[in-house]
Amino acid sequence: MSGCIFCRIVAGTASATKIHEDDILMAFLDIRPITRGHTLVIPKWHATDLDELNPALGAQLFAFGHRLAKAMRRSDLAADGANLLINDGKAAFQTVHHVHLHVVPRQQGDTLTFAKGFVLRRPHDREETAAAIRTGLDRLAAEEKAV
């Protein structure tokens, strides 16, 4: 879908700070993050909303979001938790009409910072942040391999 910014990111005709990409999913930093590390996970095939999303693909989307949230705890972001959220449709404040999962790292006691970030939504050092999350993914993989 040529008018969809996320489809253009997948096609490589629009830029994004990528965290992960495989044959099915892509994860990249939100351009207007609520917190440092706010990442979007998208299916590489266009689905406007959950009505159009294959449930098995939705399960893969959430499974990677789960993995990403765990990796953020192991990264230099030092997240204590995460919000995982899908805004489905205009009524739910979906602004990019391509299904996407928000993974927003949180820290204990960050309520005021989170609220401020929700209003201001200013980017952080994108490359440093992406590298930190990728390191968290590597640490998680090493943990799993050791078990």
Residue 84 forms beta bridges with which residues?
A: 103
CA dist 56 and 60 (Å) reads 6
CA angle, corner 107, sides to 67 and 142, nearest 5?
A: 35
Reading the block at residue 71, the tokens are: 């990796």
CA dist 63 and 54 (Å) reads 14
Identify the active-site residue in 97, 98, 100, 102.
Answer: 100
100 is catalytic: yes
Q: Which of 122, 130, 8 is nearest to 72 (CA)?
A: 130
Which residues, including other chains, have CB under 8 Å from residue 76's CB and lie 6 or more apart? 132, 135, 136
CA angle, corner 81, sides to 66 and 49, nearest 5?
A: 45
Catalytic annotation, residues = 100
